[in-house]
Structure 1
Amino acid sequence: MTKDRLFISSLAVGASIIAMAVPAWAQEMAAAAPAQEDAVPQAAAPASNADIVVTGSRIVRDGYTAPTPVTVASTEELAKTTPSGVADALNKLPQFNNSLSPSKSANNFSNLPIHGNVLNLRGLGTPSNNPKGPLRTLILFDGMRVSPTEYVGTIDTNVLPQLLMQRVDVVTGGASAQWGSDAVAGVVNFILDKKFTGFKGVAQAGVDQRGNNGNQRLGGAFGADFAGGRGHVLLSAEYSNSDGMLRQDRDFATQGYNFVGSVTSTCALSANGQSRTCTAAPGTVANPYVVAPDIRISALAANGRIVGSSVAGNPFVGRVINNDGSTRPFNLGTVVGTTGFQQGGDGYKIPDDTNAISPLTNYNGFGRVSYDLTDDINFFVQGLYARSKYHYFTQGNSLIPATQSARIYKGNPYLSTALDGALTGANDYYVVGQQDAGQPKPIAYEKTDYWTATTGLAGKFDDFNWQVTYSHGDSKHSMDNVGLYDNQKLYAALDAVRDPSTGQVTCRVLLNPTYASQYAGCKPIDVMHGDPSKSTPEGYAYATGTSSYRARFKQDAIAANISGSLFELPAGPVDIAVGVEYRRQSLRLTSNADPSLLDTDAEREAYFAGLRGVPRAESATVPYPTGSINTLFYWLTNVGSAAGKLNVKEAYAELAVPILKDTPFFRELSVNGAIRVTDYSTSGTVKTWKVGGTWKPVDDLLLRGTYSHDIRAPNLFELYAGAQSGIGIVNDVRSADGSYGSGQNVNANTVTSGNPNLKPEVADTYTFGAVFSPSFLRGFSASIDYYNIKVDKLIDSLSAQQILTNCLNAGGSGVAECNLIERASPTSFPSLIRLTPANIAFLKTAGIDFDFTYRTAVGNGGLGLRLYLNYLDKFDAQQYAGAPIAHYAGVSVVTSNPQGFPRWRGNLTVDYTNGPFGLTIGEQYIGKMRLDIPGGATPIQFVNPKVKPVWYTDLTMRYTIPHGDGGNFEFFATVNNLFDKKPPLIPGTVPGVNPPTNIAVYDIVGRAFTAGVRVKF
């Protein structure tokens, strides 16, 4: 029996045992023990009978009568197994998939702020070539839209005041008609405990078993009445810190694992014996992928390699540069079945001493004051401030062929006599590549200051509740990537000569009176003797600088809502909610490395005027001739400026109509509908709507269903983003003679920018399910809901590889993709590939959610069980019209930005409390998957495509000491990943890009300990 079947069978057995045993337990314990508080909250409703707003509807009612599936989780219960934070706990629930978090993000580049905890319901923020992160989940704070914390449109939920949260409502279906744009996947509403009185706090610290990823958290919250109970004040302050973790801190991440072709019989040496070419493409039936260790890229050696020369037949081309300036033959290592890769030898990869988890420090503070102006009108004002600080290593300074290499000319003092002698003319040169000779790694420092303030009035009249609010959100983000090659200075420093008047080594450009003042202070840099920061420290310091950008995002919003009962029908009141909202947003981003300033040949020639050796586009005959310059300001980090504004006007109405009540087979029958009209200044007017109903044939069973039409409008960054530079390995799908076909792996420069012509994404969602609350099994409830979501006009962009492939399939011209590729000639390598988002894709997903809750008395204590389970039936995507439909369900996606879509995911929590002692066990299940890279005409082939199921166990023990009247000290200790489960070995197809597993799905930290104390007075 497979583990998947074992898991499902265990659930069935467990349910049977509960069904048989619990009635007797319940009768016995009801007499023997006092009623226990809910160990785990109800699936759809709180224990209190008081009316609350459950996020599935704008109408005040409890969750059992809501047609939309809503998962309700108290923050207290979430913290029991995941003390690091509410968002981390939510991401263990199967409704969330491929979310971003500090441990699930790559840190190679610093072009975009994709850090923090960014929630991704249903995984609808993926798959995508758009790297900004999940954007189709609407985040609310106490029913009010949270303004983006980052200028790309994402929301880091770490900024919210966790100590003052009461619960989290998760609407797992389309909700745009009630709540507005972005609610395509659903809504996550963090509910504030507005009536909290007293003080509570937390102090904790943790570390993993191997001594890494140390973390601390400290916070306190206070609430009190004033003015005789007419007013109430809330205050909180929280601090958290994580030391992060390097990739080399995990043994499995230091072995150089990578997927390569398994068949080497089609691979042959080049004519000069310096490289290998394989005619069978890796990942095909003829050459399936296999995992191999110590995989390197053959294009150059880490310490330095001569990769070309202006002198035909130069004997030193292809040789490795030693630290003493001599050369030796390039060691091609062991052959593998991927062109341009090798096992062992002198190739290169991204080093292991980069961050797997970025060091992070968070601060936030929250305050709220409310006051009853009259018995029916309440005034409130609240504010939130948060600061997040990250620092991490980015990809090291490199001199990469085809994008950023070095030309070393004859007469350069750092050339050996032999090397210099092999160059004939005064302007002859070598092309040198270098990747990791020991030079310091650039470090990115990022900081986000976010604040939001809200004020409003709320009140009642007759049977209606109303509220009017104004809020302002402001985010300031800064990024400084320190220690990058500054290309203008780098190429000035690389062209070293001897000053004829002094005999000293100097920069050639300083001898040119026209440009000498511009390059005053230039110091030569030596890349012919290993680490340039050691051989020429002054030159390295001169050639490196800081790429910086500053972004500010602002949002102002005014909203007015009213809800209540219109009139009575025999089955009950007809309820209505109506409202209007106006939002205004603005984005401004400035940069000292804007690629648009070097967008033309003339601009690049002017910027690098007076310099020789600047990389230029390759021709079919001579490497690096006098073609177009193809480099920008800095190594990798070149962020475009951006500016834009938009405003949104919205109006909605929701109606709930009871039809039958307390009649045979119709204990309750009601319908619900909502409509919203939204006008975007950028894309026009759109309508969203939703209809639903509930039917309770008997008291113990509720049937429900909804159908909705939802949208997500493009955000300011998608519309107006300036050009962002990037780099990546692609297969150029053309032969050296210019014919298209076999191709070879090369690094290609890319530039991604916004598209002001984007239109809203459109989604249709339907759900139907049942809630079972048996009267004969007190304390048990269950819900089962099917969902089906289809998103059209999805905003996405083609990858660089897809653009090259589509152009190839069209014969090299005649399609729009070919216009996105810049080449010096039709047969040359791409000098630039432009990526632009467009409404080109569609996505469809369907599945079933299961939510089981049981609570009872056991002995003198209380037992609570909560099981969340999801079955993913379908997750299909098409990147553009005419492309193959990619099937993601059950797939672990093998890419540089991996994603995972297991068929089954589950989370079981067992909690037992007996007097002062408590024990909680959390079990997270990630079902089996198969390896693939969906989207091709045929599935990618792997020698072993199976990924086994993974279980993670968390254990928390706590002991409570009462203090005073209702207060207590709760001491706790948590072990996450109790059995130190290692992640499955799933490397990428480019050496060293990520730790060799699917970081979006699996835990890379291992067994980790947290201990602390929670206080409440």
Structure 2
Amino acid sequence: MRKVACLLLCTVATGAIAAPAMAQEQAAPAAQSPSADAAIDDAAVKEIIVTGSRIVRDGYTAPTPVTVATTEDLLKSTPSSIPDALNKLPQFSNSLSPSKSANNFSNNPIHGNVLNLRSLGIPNNNPKGPLRTLILFDGLRVSPTTYVGTVDTNVLPQLLMQRVDVVTGGASAAWGSDAVAGVVNFVLDKKFTGIKGVAQAGISQRGDAANQRIGVAYGTSFANDAGHILLSGEYNNNEGLIRSKRAIGRQGLTYVGSVVGCTPPAGQPATVCNPGGTSNPYVLRPDVRISAVAPNGRITGSSVTGNPFVGRVINNDGSTRPFNTGTAVGTAGFQIGGDGYDIPPNTHAVAPYKTYQTFGRASYDFSPDITGYVQGGWSRSELRYITQQNVLIPPGGAVNIYKGNPFLPAAIDATLPTASDFITVGQASAGQPSPVANERTDYWMATAGLNGTFGGFSWNASYSHGDSVHKLANSGLYDYKKLYAAADVVTNPANGQPTCRVLLNPAVAAQYTGCVPINILRGNPAATTPAGYAYATGTSRYRAKMKQDSWVAGFNGAVFDLPAGPVDIAFGVEYRRQSLDLVSNANPADLAGSTAAETAAIRANYFAGLRGVPASSLYYWLTNVGEANGKLNVKEAYGEIAVPILKDTPFFRELSVNGAIRVTDYSTSGTVTTWKAGGTWKPVDDLLLRGTYSHDIRAPNLFELFAGAQSGIGIVNDVRNAAGTYGSGLNINANSVTSGNPNLKPEVSNTYTFGGVVTPSFMPGFSLAVDYYHIKVKKLIETLTAQQIVTNCLNAGGTGAEECALIERASPTTFPSLVRIVPANIAFLKTSGIDIDASYRTNVGNGALAVRLYANYLQKFQAQQYTGAPISNYDGKNVIISNPAGFPRWRGNLTVDYSNGPFGVTVSEQYIHKMTLDIPGGPVPIAFVDNKVDAVWYTDLSFRFTVPHGNGNIELFTTVNNLFDKKPPLIGSTIPGVNLPTNIAVYDFIGRAFTTGVRFKF
């Protein structure tokens, strides 16, 4: 393959250089490259220009594989939205959406509809979401809608979309950064005339997950057809789904070690007895809980050695009882039944969301050679979901209750000799209200441009502005400053009533005005001391504003003719600037100085007068988003050439090559060059062979470069502390802080594809494209997890390694109080596979039959998180992580549509191949008692009835998704309650659902 790539490169080396402009050529007959339209009449099929460097029809004649899907076809089986329909195609996998993201946390804005081509955005558990798929709106780069750099495609207008073009290969030379996995271009129907609309409603068979959609679009010409106007408005609402609404969400299914008291066999390392080790394989068990605390409360420690109450559970009346250890499992710190806690099932499996969209466009032909246009749109996306409960978990989140606290039972108070002595109390879900996150994205875009022809060349010039304001308010969270003030209660000598101790200290009382005592010693503090709970909780907020300005100018046309046809070139320039301004009321960096002494002084001032505040405490429980501020500019020049070599000769009905190059200068990461070479060869009329080789990049985005400290929390197994406080291998929550890295460099990718297209003349209406792809990305921007940092430090002997410097401990033998995480160009990934795209259209009886098959075979998906780490194989694996992912060997989507007069029916079959369970990336292989996940088929059925009315029609439709109510495979997490016990990124858990509505067009 390298020789083929070199040959292609050498062939185009003497030509001009390539561009993202869409060159033009005469469309092939419909029998050879069938249209994506539903029409059967070949005479009605019109030329369509598809995203890429050549004119193609359905992507069947492009050197780079292109999938073309009309919005009409996409919405037949998935009427909820175009992005939802795209995610059923095998080219997309492990995308994010309100139903495919864990909603326990709100630190990362990953809950919109974020498309992921080839799964290239998900390896190594990247929490920011897919970043290697470029999103275009009618050929223009869509600016980020979230501060992490992703695009929520829900903000794009859908009613005026004509089709979606998916370039499934590296396309940086054509479109610039981010196109490592490919390009998704939402193509506007710029000449739509008339009025059309939709009104629909859906609900699951179980009476939940309701949704509604309504929209209308209008298009008209004016000034004797010299001008054209488009207008649209849309509203979508999805009411979401709580995890407890499904039986599997209430069972507490979790993977735990299967061998209690595991002892390594002779000659085997201790790691074989880790949970999931070969001597302690994972097994799925119900009602698994974390042993650290009990929901109502547990006394986890004391300043008095040997205090008899340590370890006991606190009852609602203030009395205590022994902790019920339930049934032991092979994971330290976990148990089945008894006391203990998990993430309760009242969090959202599907985040409720609403979207509002408006769009307008006006174009005018100033002359036969010049057309001008302006267009703009505004959209709002709103999400509201329940996040993880407030918990008080040791070592960094529990609360000290000191002697003399009037809420402290006398028996416990008697075990504390002095006023400075205390017990430490942890608490989980005692019945307190759940925190709620509200996310809102306001996005608007505006473009003005000119295009025309001059001297045989086509040209275009445009200016675009994109502006996004993303806000989050996570309310009901413990405000640590107020919590520790409210929990340290004494008796007011003036009136004999409980009061906050800090209010009796004149030096700091003003900082705690309004403090009300909270009682965590009698169950639900929101019930026992509602005013105290209200004081101790607050709202973590941030606002991120992203702006993008882009100037583009390009030319394309034929420069001269060769015997085989014209030589087409395209060239142009682009300039883009972006800015990010993220502000927060809970910036972790505000509690840290440049030295340990400065940090101690800052924290002492913020927590002035308080005692017992853990060193890792920030502003709020869980959600502490750091601020970020930065900007960059990008200068680009590009060129393209398409050279016909032979035509209409024996064994060379067509032979052509093309090449592209783009030089890009980033103000933040320097100058890079991307390129691509490709060619097509048609030995006979019925067969087209094609291949490409490309060199692509993804430059670090503003958040990766300039992010402030972001807080997080997660369970870490710290086996280093065999002689420390917590013992060997205990699973405890550890706080982490992640920040940006201004020294990041672009990721680098090399992609090659080769394949063929068969359009047999003996079978009109049939086309089959089969393409092999191979993608390798180096210098991948990734971060290690807190667990990996701790493990790497351990493997280095506990000192000396770079990772050890990222871990903070109160003493060398205590559990980490904080783990710092920084992104770097440390990883690589490699993937390869085969895409199959087949279509067939014919007449059957008095009706029309259309069949479309999309399939993908995943040959390889490998990733290495950092140099020296083991290479992880993801292919064929169902990956168990907080945001799970799946990499089936085979995925397919088969759609059969039949229409006869006013009636139409569509059957869509989605196939997901069997997989095996795994957690790639660990130092040793992970073992399961049963690691098999069976293949799954989903069937969607849609009926429609069209009623002619005047110059248009009204279409009544009903769609049944998951017709046979296929249940998702049971796949737990390794953390109790973190998700529904299935792979939410891959499988449907809503069950059979119905949508009915009306579409009209006049």
- Scaled to the shorter chain, the TM-score interval is over 0.9
Q: 1:666 to 1:725 in 2, by over 3 A?
A: same
Residue of structure 2 aligned with 1:226, choices 215, 222, 228? 222
The whole-number CA distance in structure 2 between the counterparts of 1:844 and 1:739 is 42
Residue of structure 2 aligned with 1:945, choices 931, 952, 960? 931
Contact persistence 2:938–2:963 (CA under 8 A): yes
Q: How big is the shift at 1:663?
A: 0.1
Q: 1:85 to 1:38 in 2, by over 3 A?
A: farther
Residue of structure 1 aligned with 2:490, choices 497, 505, 509? 497
Contact persistence 1:558–1:581 (CA under 8 A): yes
Q: How big is the shift at 1:62?
A: 8.1
Contact persistence 1:58–1:577 (CA under 8 A): no
1:864-943 alignment to 2 at 5 Å?
Answer: 864-943=850-929
Partner of 1:338: 331
CA offsets per residue over residues 937-980 of structure 1, 9 Å max, x none? 43200000000000000000000000112x00000000000111
Partner of 1:206: 202
Q: How big is the shift at 1:756?
A: 0.5
Matching of residue 458 in structure 1 with residue 462 in structure 2:
no
Matching of residue 570 in structure 1 with residue 563 in structure 2:
yes
Matching of residue 718 in structure 1 with residue 704 in structure 2:
yes
Contact persistence 1:278–1:337 (CA under 8 A): no
Contact persistence 2:849–2:896 (CA under 8 A): yes
Q: How big is the shift at 1:744?
A: 1.4
Contact persistence 1:413–1:505 (CA under 8 A): yes
Partner of 2:262: 266
Q: How big is the shift at 1:895?
A: 1.3
The whole-number CA distance in structure 2 between the counterparts of 1:58 and 1:738 is 66
Contact persistence 2:38–2:850 (CA under 8 A): no
The whole-number CA distance in structure 2 between the counterparts of 1:266 and 1:790 is 40
Residue of structure 2 aligned with 1:977, choices 948, 962, 972? 962
The whole-number CA distance in structure 2 between the counterparts of 1:266 and 1:363 is 56
DSSP 3-state at the match of 1:540: helix
Alpha-carbon RMSD: 1.9
The whole-number CA distance in structure 1 between the counterparts of 2:705 and 2:968 is 38
The whole-number CA distance in structure 2 between the counterparts of 1:423 and 1:370 is 80
Contact persistence 2:60–2:769 (CA under 8 A): no
Residue of structure 2 aligned with 1:301, choices 269, 294, 299? 294
Partner of 2:364: 371
Q: How big is the shift at 1:601?
A: 2.1
Contact persistence 2:35–2:57 (CA under 8 A): no
Contact persistence 2:48–2:55 (CA under 8 A): no
Residue of structure 2 aligned with 1:676, choices 662, 665, 669? 662
The whole-number CA distance in structure 2 between the counterparts of 1:744 and 1:855 is 61
Matching of residue 156 in structure 1 with residue 156 in structure 2:
no
Q: 1:442 to 1:61 in 2, by over 3 A?
A: closer
1:377-416 alignment to 2 at 5 Å?
Answer: 377-416=370-409
DSSP 3-state at the match of 1:162: coil
Matching of residue 256 in structure 1 with residue 255 in structure 2:
no
1:645-724 alignment to 2 at 5 Å?
Answer: 645-724=631-710
The whole-number CA distance in structure 2 between the counterparts of 1:685 and 1:671 is 27
Q: Which amino acid aligns with 2:157?
A: P
Partner of 1:425: 418
DSSP 3-state at the match of 1:490: helix
Partner of 1:531: 524
Count how many residue pairs are aligned between Structure 1 and Structure 2: 959
Partner of 1:851: 837
The whole-number CA distance in structure 2 between the counterparts of 1:122 and 1:38 is 26
Q: How big is the shift at 1:278?
A: 11
Partner of 1:130: 126
Q: How big is the shift at 1:397?
A: 1.0
Q: How big is the shift at 1:52?
A: 3.8
The whole-number CA distance in structure 2 between the counterparts of 1:196 and 1:401 is 62
1:311-330 alignment to 2 at 5 Å?
Answer: 311-330=304-323
Q: How big is the shift at 1:149?
A: 1.4
DSSP 3-state at the match of 1:875: strand
The whole-number CA distance in structure 2 between the counterparts of 1:873 and 1:302 is 46
Partner of 1:777: 763
Structure 1, unmatched stretches of 5+, are: 1-34, 269-276, 616-628
Partner of 2:477: 484
Contact persistence 1:978–1:1007 (CA under 8 A): yes
Q: Which amino acid aligns with 2:971?
A: I
Q: 1:92 to 1:61 in 2, by over 3 A?
A: closer
Partner of 1:274: none
Partner of 1:13: none
1:759-778 alignment to 2 at 5 Å?
Answer: 759-778=745-764
Q: 1:47 to 1:908 in 2, by over 3 A?
A: farther
Matching of residue 172 in structure 1 with residue 168 in structure 2:
yes
The whole-number CA distance in structure 1 between the counterparts of 2:974 and 2:76 is 38
DSSP 3-state at the match of 2:305: coil
CA offsets per residue over residues 844-869 of structure 1, 9 Å max, x none? 00000001101111111011110101
Contact persistence 1:734–1:740 (CA under 8 A): no
Q: 1:469 to 1:607 in 2, by over 3 A?
A: same
Partner of 2:953: 968
Q: How big is the shift at 1:462?
A: 3.4
Q: How big is the shift at 1:42?
A: 9.4
Residue of structure 1 aligned with 2:185, choices 175, 186, 189? 189
TM-score (norm: length of structure 1): 0.93
Q: Which amino acid aligns with 2:327?
A: T
Contact persistence 2:451–2:459 (CA under 8 A): yes
Q: Which amino acid aligns with 1:798?
A: L
Structure 2, unmatched stretches of 5+, are: 1-30, 265-269, 593-598
Q: How big is the shift at 1:267?
A: 8.8
Contact persistence 2:260–2:328 (CA under 8 A): yes
Q: How big is the shift at 1:51?
A: 4.6
The whole-number CA distance in structure 1 between the counterparts of 2:34 and 2:955 is 18
Q: How big is the shift at 1:630?
A: 1.6
The whole-number CA distance in structure 2 between the counterparts of 1:447 and 1:571 is 55
Q: Which amino acid aligns with 1:985?
A: L
The whole-number CA distance in structure 1 between the counterparts of 2:327 and 2:57 is 68
DSSP 3-state at the match of 1:534: helix
CA offsets per residue over residues 595-640 of structure 1, 9 Å max, x none? 001122221121111011212xxxxxxxxxxxxx220011111111
Q: Which amino acid aligns with 1:951?
A: W
Partner of 2:515: 522
1:949-960 alignment to 2 at 5 Å?
Answer: 949-960=935-946
DSSP 3-state at the match of 1:65: coil
Contact persistence 1:81–1:976 (CA under 8 A): yes
Matching of residue 145 in structure 1 with residue 141 in structure 2:
yes
Partner of 1:11: none
Residue of structure 2 aligned with 1:998, choices 976, 983, 988? 983
Matching of residue 356 in structure 1 with residue 349 in structure 2:
yes
Contact persistence 2:626–2:708 (CA under 8 A): yes
CA offsets per residue over residues 896-935 of structure 1, 9 Å max, x none? 1211000000000000000000000000000000001112
Q: Which amino acid aligns with 2:687?
A: L
The whole-number CA distance in structure 1 between the counterparts of 2:341 and 2:360 is 52
The whole-number CA distance in structure 2 between the counterparts of 1:938 and 1:426 is 49
Contact persistence 2:124–2:921 (CA under 8 A): no
The whole-number CA distance in structure 1 between the counterparts of 2:794 and 2:82 is 48
TM-score (norm: length of structure 2): 0.94
Q: How big is the shift at 1:46?
A: 10
Contact persistence 2:555–2:571 (CA under 8 A): yes
Contact persistence 2:721–2:814 (CA under 8 A): no
Contact persistence 1:59–1:575 (CA under 8 A): no
Matching of residue 121 in structure 1 with residue 114 in structure 2:
no
DSSP 3-state at the match of 1:805: helix
Matching of residue 86 in structure 1 with residue 82 in structure 2:
yes
Contact persistence 1:962–1:968 (CA under 8 A): yes
Q: Which amino acid aligns with 2:623?
A: T
Matching of residue 637 in structure 1 with residue 636 in structure 2:
no
Contact persistence 2:36–2:68 (CA under 8 A): no
Contact persistence 1:774–1:780 (CA under 8 A): yes
Q: 1:946 to 1:61 in 2, by over 3 A?
A: closer
Contact persistence 1:732–1:744 (CA under 8 A): yes
CA offsets per residue over residues 436-458 of structure 1, 9 Å max, x none? 10001111111110000000001
Matching of residue 551 in structure 1 with residue 550 in structure 2:
no
The whole-number CA distance in structure 2 between the counterparts of 1:939 and 1:974 is 44
DSSP 3-state at the match of 1:812: coil
Q: 1:822 to 1:91 in 2, by over 3 A?
A: same
Q: How big is the shift at 1:461?
A: 2.0
1:790-829 alignment to 2 at 5 Å?
Answer: 790-829=776-815
Identity of aligned residues (%): 70
